[in-house]
Structure 1
Amino acid sequence: MIDSASRLGAAGRALVAMTPQLVRAGVTLDVAYLHDAPDGCQPELTEAGAAVFAVGRPGRAGTAAALHRLIRERRPDLVHTTRHAGAHRSDLLAQAAAFAARTPVVSSLVDPPSGPDRPGGLRPAQALDAATARGTRRFHALTRYVAATTAKRLRVPRQRIDVVPRGRDPELLGTATPERRAEVRGALELPGDVPVVLVAACQQYRKGLDVLLDAWPAVRRAEPEAVLLLAGGEGPETARLHALAGVAGNVRFLGPRDDVADLMAAADAVAVPARRDGQGGAAIEAMGVGVPLVCTDLPGLRETVGSEDYARLVPPERPAELAAAIADTLADRSAAGARAQAARARFLTSFTLHQVSAQTVEFYERSLRLRPA
């Protein structure tokens, strides 16, 4: 169960990538979604062997009834939901429908617990989390950090939470080669020798893009020709980010992209300046492509990246330190390349789609065997 069928959202991308692997492993996969999207991934899911169902209806009661009918008709062994800052509606509706149909529910935990996404804001449905957790068969978290912190918030035993990261297909990601770099830069009308930094993230406060833009003038003082590419959909921070970019200079907004791996292959560094992140999908992709990485030293990101042997890590919300790390990465290409090579080796041993899919099937099988503790 997902909120949106958009192929550009994290849930949609992960599902499109995972579906062929799960189907080949013997999983009969039904995908229900609330909202259509112009960039919908329904054709890819269907081609990969999933059955896809639009269940969004006017009003929550109508959607809950449609979900209940679907579950009664399809009779799945498990209903899989996601607990996420942007997916509370689908999670709660799917859980209610599954509970009514007496179908076990498993749920993914993708973000660490936090306060508001922006000072003064509120996260809806947070008060219901602990109550609905009692009826959830098992949980899956992207990192040990998310598992440990969320167990406390939901008041569930840690042993009810399995850790399975999101993965990427190394063949689909490809690697950073001179030929690929030249082709992508040509399409973007970027000279081959201009330093390029890429960030791939939606324009939300938790992504810390404003911190990166605050840091960018200092990067340009060290590398005057450097260009910053921002790939990702608009959001609550869009107007503010455009204002900051006008001051920083040499910043290009690319909008939502389905070729992020190509953009990474054309970049000299990938930045992940997040204030909050459960695992770091962009960091995993940069590791897989083999591009130098600079990211904030959040527990979930450090668990993914490993250490400074693989990436430059800086405290969150420190523009000066972020600028220094990016400038150093652009200046010392030899050291940055060594880190990127080590990071790709780490990716291949821990985050390939084949490995993650096998762990997901094991999670489903374990969920069917075990009752909540």
Structure 2
Amino acid sequence: ARCFFAVSPARFCHLLTCLQPTLACCLSPLSTVQAGLISLLSLIMANTRRSDAANLQKYMGLDQRGKVLAEYVWVDAHGGVRSKTKTLSRPVTSADELPEWNFDGSSTGQAPGHDSDVYLRPCAIFPDPFRGGDNILVLCETWDSDGSPNKYNYRHEAARLMRTHEKEQFWFGLEQEYTLLDADGWPFGWPKGGYPGAQGPYYCGVGTGKAQCRDIVDAHYKACLYAGISISGINAEVMPSQWEYQVGPCEGITLGDQLWMSRFLLNRVAEDFGVVISFAPKPIPGDWNGAGLHSNVSTAAMRAEGGMKVIEAAMKKLEARHPEHIAVYGEGNEDRLTGRHETGSIDKFSWGVADRGGSIRIPRQCAKDGKGYFEDRRPASNADPYQITGIIVETLCGSD
């Protein structure tokens, strides 16, 4: 108990949320310890209030007297998103018009306490679907006080690679899978401490018992469209309470910017509904599909006539750097890339046409057309899109 109460209440709540699925899988029936943890988590979550939309609307319609609210969003040391709000004196149309800001990096794992200031440099702006009007969301890079990119600023290097190889015209489209959890950290719609029927009817499922939380999924979809995110579709996934949305195709660094903002929007929408979003690559052990971030990639040469030869040449380069890619393709990916549940083995590179059990899948239509794109199925759902797209560009084209 001492180790739990030495951490902050927020961290303690997070630990319990993560522990609950594991405990439910390992202990049956519920042990005294597990029951106590669940009761404590329920007590904590009972004091976590959902947004009161009806009352909020009274204030959201108030005149801002020409001021603009800018929500600065950044990626923290743990692969999560953080944000804080700044008041601007006028509307802006470009990130270049926005001032730098700073935050306490010692509270996000991005700086030591004795030198805690980390700076936010605006990179992209999006219309704010929550506040509306001229209010904006601002995606930022993180920079240290000495003028160097923060250790967890993966965007900076990815953007450099994109600029260096701009003539290749890289297009990316990423498929973000995620799982919706209830207040106890258990997938929505699953029996408490138990499991639903076997996988099969849930993928693209319709109807009660097959699709969970569609209201949240649709709300996120509309929020992304309002914000100008190139979200191209959604679907229920193989495991119940797991969903996917697709972002792209986008050129260069834009894909990473849009995917990170879409994650912010997803968490922000879920906050209104009192739901937890999990990007864990294997949220539930056992005979259940994991969650990935399948990455679709093409260059101008791959999309042109004879592009299949360019794609095949890319496979050799990707195989040669398989370990380096796995190293940045997400935490906990070893639990997902087992060679089962539509994944390849984490230790072996493979590719094939229409093969969902390989590291790389070539769509059958692309093979038929002799041109197109490939799908890298290795990245986990919690992977950083800047690291994914950056290392793919580096592997195929070099670092300089």
- TM-score w.r.t. the length of structure 2 is 0.27
Larger radius of gyration: 2
| Bigger helix share | 1
- TM-score w.r.t. the length of structure 1 is 0.28
| Bigger strand share | 2
